[in-house]
């Protein structure tokens, strides 16, 4: 259930050589990316250099009412964003896109990721006169680019120079008055792709499912370190930052973060999850009557386990589709039951059965414990849990909000005790040495697996000011 794990954001952008209903494209694109963030969202349309923005807290459906959508004029380009925010940075103030003006024009920018030297960059700029309105790292990136722009001959040159200064994981889509620019950090931590519609509208998005939503055909993924410039004469690729650092695509995108109908760097997310299930069946076989998955990201792996093992696949739960992240539990005594409200077992599938239960991850273990208890109450005879990821041992420094290191079940209890704590008859995690093998297609075999093995692909200095600053912002201690 992705217990206490959240992707930070999804980005989207459209560009054409004539005016079109760019905001409507963004609306559909954001709907497709809603799983990447539900705290706030925003669209900025560029109407011949005039930027019209609507940015607010809430999910896409609530923020972009028909009245709001009608208020957008056509434009030649637009960018858009969905955001997950930590508790203290979830407000409207930190929503994206960010829009700034400088004496060479306007910039609108949105991003997904985490900047590892955010504090150093911000202090350097503040000490030389910059003022910041938000706690958002997008504002820091925007300011770095705006400053470089003052002494560059073009926006893309400013971006190129800014990339030398910004350390960490980032996928950015931005607009100047005349161009849309998309770029990705040198390691390529998070996915970013682009395509084109039959009408000639270029589309950039965090995931291919958003290209599908607006009828765009995938051209390719943006390369790690690449800058794509969408302008009147077409698309230009600047590759000066490419190949400088080892690739480190987040493996957890395949396991949990991305939508199963997306394709990342040549491999279908659905296929990767099925493969994880097949591998679990080979590594941890068990005699059972039915395989069930925890919705949503456990389902594909459950199908894979069922196929490989020959044990029938069943629908074990109904998920309430109408509960959002802002779901409030009225009253402390009901808090324990919130999992039940989101998810309810189908007794016909589980009663009297030996069950293989597939989930995508275990973080603290509290959600798994409640799910297992629900299955027992529904009459399950045996529960054999298989997890399509290794155990988390580390927090993520690259944009995925995982629990603190201390809260992770792997750091609180010996591995042998975990089945008893969760209440299952047996438990198996996808072994660390096998996790890369779930990506069956595509050429990329360079992955970040740092939350599972602690091997951060970049230097992370936990005593640095940026690290302390990020922690302070997260705790709301401003
Ligand atoms: S640490 Fe984990 S969640 Fe973060 S980028 Fe690496 S694999 Fe993804």
State yes or no: pLDDT of 88 exceeds 60: no
Helix (H, G, I), strand (E, B) or coil at 376: helix
How high is the pLDDT of residue 177? 96
pLDDT at 476: 47
| E strands, 9-161, in order | 9-20, 40-47, 50-57, 75-83, 98-102, 105-115
Please give the mean pLDDT across all residues of the chain: 91
Q: Could you tell me the pLDDT band of residue 89, with boundaries at 50, 70 and 90? A: low
Cα(422)–Cα(428) distance, integer angstroms: 12
Question: In which band, very low, low, confident or very high, does the pLDDT at 94 lie, cut at 50, 70 and 90?
Answer: confident
**Residue identifier of the C-alpha nearest atom 4 of ligand 1:** 396
Of 400 and 382, more confident: 382
Residue to mutate (ligand 1; options 3, 399, 400; most atoms within 8 A of CB): 400
pLDDT at 92: 76
CA–centroid distance, 452 to ligand 1, in Å, is: 8
Side-chain half-sphere exposure of 407, counting CA atoms within 13 A: 13
pLDDT score of 213: 98
205/29 Cα distance (integer angstroms)? 8
Whether residue 2 is predicted with pLDDT greater than 70 in this model: the reply is no
* Cα 207 to middle of ligand 1, angstroms: 17
Q: How far is the CA of 405 from the centre of ligand 1 (A)?
A: 13
Q: Which residues fall within 8 angstroms of residue 34, CB to CB, at 6 or more apart? A: 10, 59, 60, 82
| CB of 203 closer than 8 Å to CB of 137 | no
Model confidence over 390-423: pLDDT tens digits?
999 998 999 988 878 888 998 899 999 999 999 9
Mean pLDDT of 234-250: 96
Q: Cβ(361) to ligand 1 under 6 A?
A: no
Question: Whole-angstrom Cα distance, residue 296 to residue 275?
Answer: 16
Contact between 111 and 172 under an 8 Å Cβ cutoff? The reply is: yes
Decide whether any atom of ligand 1 lies within 6 Å of the 284 Cβ.
Answer: no
**Residue, of 170 and 103, whose pLDDT is higher:** 170
- The residue whose CB lies within 8 Å of the most ligand 1 atoms, and thus the one to mutate among 170, 184, 192, 251, is 251
* CA–CA gap between residue 150 and residue 264 (Å, rounded): 36
- What would the mean pLDDT of 459-478 be, rounded to a whole number? 62
- Looking at the DSSP bridge assignments, the partners of residue 75 are 20
Is the confidence at residue 196, as pLDDT, over 70? yes
pLDDT, tens digit (0-9, with 9 covering 90-100), for 42-62: 999 999 999 999 999 999 999
What's the confidence (pLDDT) of residue 478? 35
Residue 135 CA to ligand 1 center (angstroms) comes to 22
Mean pLDDT to the nearest integer, 165-184: 97
pLDDT score for 474: 55
Cα–Cα–Cα angle for 344, 302, 7, rounded to 5 degrees: 75
User: Percent of the chain at pLDDT above 90?
Assistant: 77
**Tally of CB atoms within 10 A around 150:** 10
Residue 7 has pLDDT above 70, yes or no: no
Q: Grade residue 381 by pLDDT with cuts at 50, 70 and 90.
A: very high
Protein residue with least CA distance to atom 2, ligand 1: 451
Domains of the chain from N-terminus onward: 6-248 (3.60.20.10), 274-320+334-441 (3.40.50.2020)
Active site residue ranges: 9
E-strand ranges in 26-129 read 40-47, 50-57, 75-83, 98-102, 105-115
If we measure between CA atoms, which residue out of 266, 421, 395, 435 comes closest to residue 4? 395
In this structure, are strands 168-175 and 217-221 parallel, antiparallel, or unpaired? Answer: unpaired
* 80 Cβ below 6 A of ligand 1: no
Distance 250 CA to ligand 1 centre (A): 5
Residue 456 CA to ligand 1 center (angstroms) comes to 9
Least reliable range by pLDDT among 22-26, 293-297, 447-451: 293-297
- The SS3 call for residue 44 is strand
Q: What is the pLDDT of residue 1?
A: 46
Q: What value does the mean pLDDT take over residues 311-337?
A: 70
Task: Note the pLDDT of residue 451.
Answer: 94
Model confidence at 181, pLDDT cuts 50, 70, 90, reads very high
**Better-predicted residue by pLDDT, 322 or 124:** 124
Nearest to 16 by CA among 183, 164, 230: 230
Question: What does the pLDDT read at residue 375?
Answer: 97
Sequential DSSP letters for 190-252: S--EEEE-TT--EEEESSHHHHHHTTPEEEEEPPTT-EEEEETTEEEEE-TTTTSS---EEHH
Residue 363 has pLDDT above 60, yes or no: yes
If you average pLDDT over each of 66-80, 98-112, 438-452, which comes out highest?
Answer: 66-80
pTM of the model: 0.92
Is any ligand 1 atom within 6 A of the Cβ of residue 396? yes
Q: Supply 112's token pair.
A: 């997904």
Q: Which of 169, 252, 389, 457 to mutate to test the pocket of ligand 1 (most atoms within 8 A of CB)?
A: 252
Residue 444 has pLDDT above 90, yes or no: no
Closest CA to 196 of 164, 166, 238, 235: 235
Query: Atom of ligand 1 at shortest distance to CA of 447?
Result: 7
Check pLDDT > 90 for residue 168.
yes
């Amino acid at each position: 259930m992705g217990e206490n794990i959240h992707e930070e954001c999804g980005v989207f952008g459209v560009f054409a050589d004539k005016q079109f209903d760019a905001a409507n494209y963004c609306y559909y694109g954001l709907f497709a990316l809603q799983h990447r963030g539900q705290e706030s969202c925003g669209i900025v349309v560029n109407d011949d250099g005039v930027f019209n923005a609507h940015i607010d807290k809430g999910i896409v459906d609530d923020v972009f009412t028909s009245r709001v959508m009608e208020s957008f004029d056509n434009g030649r380009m637009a960018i858009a964003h969905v955001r997950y925010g930590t508790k203290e940075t979830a407000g409207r103030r930190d929503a994206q896109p960010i829009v700034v003006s400088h004496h060479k024009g306007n910039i609108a920018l949105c991003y997904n990721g985490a900047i590892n030297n955010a504090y150093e960059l911000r202090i350097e700029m503040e000490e030389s006169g910059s003022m910041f309105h938000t706690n958002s790292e997008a504002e820091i990136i925007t300011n770095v680019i705006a400053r470089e722009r003052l002494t560059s001959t073009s926006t893309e040159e400013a971006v190129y120079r800014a990339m030398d200064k910004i350390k960490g994981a980032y996928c950015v889509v931005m607009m100047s008055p005349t161009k849309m620019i998309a770029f990705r950090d040198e390691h390529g931590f998070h996915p970013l792709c682009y395509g084109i519609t039959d009408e000639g509208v270029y589309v950039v998005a965090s995931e291919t499912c958003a290209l599908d939503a607006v009828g765009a055909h995938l051209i390719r993924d943006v390369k790690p370190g690449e800058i794509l410039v969408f302008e009147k004469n077409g698309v230009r690729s600047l590759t000066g930052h490419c190949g400088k650092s080892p690739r480190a695509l987040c493996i957890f995108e395949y396991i949990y973060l991305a939508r199963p109908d997306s394709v990342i760097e040549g491999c279908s997310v659905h296929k990767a999850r099925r493969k994880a299930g097949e591998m679990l069946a080979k590594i941890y076989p068990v005699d059972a009557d039915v395989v069930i998955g925890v919705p949503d990201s456990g389902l594909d792996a459950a199908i894979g386990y069922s196929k490989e093992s020959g044990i029938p696949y069943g629908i074990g739960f109904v998920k309430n589709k109408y509960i959002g992240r802002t779901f409030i539990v009225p009253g402390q005594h009901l808090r324990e039951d919130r999992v039940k409200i989101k998810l309810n077992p189908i007794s016909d599938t589980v009663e009297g059965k030996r069950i293989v239960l597939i989930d995508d991850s275990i973080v603290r273990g509290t959600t798994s414990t409640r799910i297992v208890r629900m299955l027992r109450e529904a009459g399950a005879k045996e529960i054999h849990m298989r997890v399509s990821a290794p155990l988390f041992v580390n927090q993520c420094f690259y944009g995925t909000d995982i629990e603190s290191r201390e809260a992770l079940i792997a750091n609180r209890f010996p591995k042998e005790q975990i089945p008893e704590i969760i209440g299952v008859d047996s438990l198996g995690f996808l072994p660390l040495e096998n996790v890369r093998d779930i990506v069956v297609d595509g050429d990329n075999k360079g992955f970040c697996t740092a939350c599972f093995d602690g091997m951060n692909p970049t230097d992370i200095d936990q005593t640095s000011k940026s690290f302390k600053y990020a922690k302070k912002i997260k705790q709301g201690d401003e």
